[in-house]
Amino acid sequence: MTVIAATPLLSRMLPCSTSAQLAADMVPLLRRSDHPALDPLFARVIQLQSACRFPAVDEVVATARFRFANLVLGEDDPERAKDLYTHVLADCDPAWPVFAGILNNRGITWLELNHADQAIADFTAVINATVATDEARACAFNNRADIHDDRGDTTAAIADRSAVLKLNETTYDRRYIALARRARTLWKADDHDGALRDVDAILSTADIVMEQKMAALLQRARWLVSDAPERAITDLETVLSSARNFPGVQERAQALLAQARASN
């Protein structure tokens, strides 16, 4: 076994990077932007950054600042969060993985501030970034598709949802969102067969969770309740017998089931 000794540079960098990473990991755990532990925590991170001056530490500091901005966004303060994301971007290397996350979340703040064009610009920048992960791109495609849907541009919305489904390394949440929302867009565009195929894809995808599948069944039943009440009843009974549902799904299914039985 050959053991490679750390160089003096690496020996200094590892403690700095590790300490800074521990501090960055603490930020989301504090759960609120006014937590009294945040000021000393960031003071420590900045101290490490000043002492070390290594790119790895700079990246961790950007991540810590990104996570703090996320706390602010979660507190329904999109204007402040947008400014925080913008300030981090000014100090962030586009090659760092966190860069795409910052752009995505700033795009969300633009949306909440009713600046859809700026939001599209941020989401598009993520989609075009060569270093963005598939998961980051999937978030950006889904977010941009939401804007296209709101604007009535069904062709662009469907194209962005379809792009999500062509990515290789995405979580089930991104694929579920793409399929469920593409299905709704297709239904509005009178492509009912395409919409129903997307629901079938949700139901047949192994890693899409039960709550999501039941929500898809509820959506399909809502579409079919007038023209195919028997099929809607079957879907709704499945939803009502499920051990796991999103909040409110059972109540909506129960009300729709009464309507379906009255139509049958």
Please provide the distance, in angstroms rounded to a whole number, between the alpha carbons at the two ends of the chain. Answer: 75
Give mean pLDDT, residues 51-73: 82
Q: Quote the pLDDT of residue 8.
A: 35
Q: Quote the pLDDT of residue 189.
A: 95
pLDDT of 7 over the 60 cut: no
Q: What percent of the chain has pLDDT over 70?
A: 90
Biggest CA-to-CA distance, the chain:
79
Give mean pLDDT, residues 165-186: 96
Q: Quote the pLDDT of residue 6.
A: 31
pLDDT of 173 over the 90 cut: yes
11-39 exposure pattern, b = at least 16 Cβ within 10 A, e = fewer: eebeebbebbbebbebbeebeebeeeebe
Of 120-124, 142-146, 260-264, least confident by mean pLDDT is 260-264
Q: What is the C-alpha separation between 183 and 55, in angstroms, rounded?
A: 44
pLDDT of 155 over the 90 cut: yes
Over residues 186-198, the pLDDT tens digits come to: 999 999 999 999 9
pLDDT of 248 over the 80 cut: yes
CATH of 48-132, one of 1.10.10.10, 1.10.1790.20, 1.25.40.10, 3.50.50.60: 1.25.40.10
Over residues 198-217, the pLDDT tens digits come to: 999 999 999 999 999 999 99
- Nearest residue to 102 via CA among 122, 118, 121, 117: 122
Return mean pLDDT, the chain.
88
Tell me if 80 sits within 8 A of 40, measured CB to CB. no
Q: Quote the pLDDT of residue 41.
A: 77
In this structure, is the dihedral angle defined by the CA atoms of residues 214, 216, 222 and 225, taken in order, positive or negative?
negative
pLDDT of 9 over the 70 cut: no
List own/partner pairs for 137-141 with CB under 8 A and 24 or more apart. Answer: 137/100, 137/163, 137/164, 137/167, 138/164, 138/167, 138/170, 138/171, 138/174, 138/175, 138/178, 139/104, 139/174, 140/100, 140/103, 140/104, 140/107, 141/178
Domain boundary assignment for the chain: 48-132, 154-208, 211-264
Tell me the pTM.
0.84
Q: Quote the pLDDT of residue 16.
A: 64
Binned at pLDDT 50, 70 and 90, residue 10 comes out as very low
pLDDT of 61 over the 50 cut: yes
pLDDT of 243 over the 80 cut: yes
Q: What is the C-alpha separation between 231 and 224, in angstroms, rounded?
A: 7
Q: What is the C-alpha separation between 109 and 102, in angstroms, rounded?
A: 11
Give mean pLDDT, residues 131-153: 95
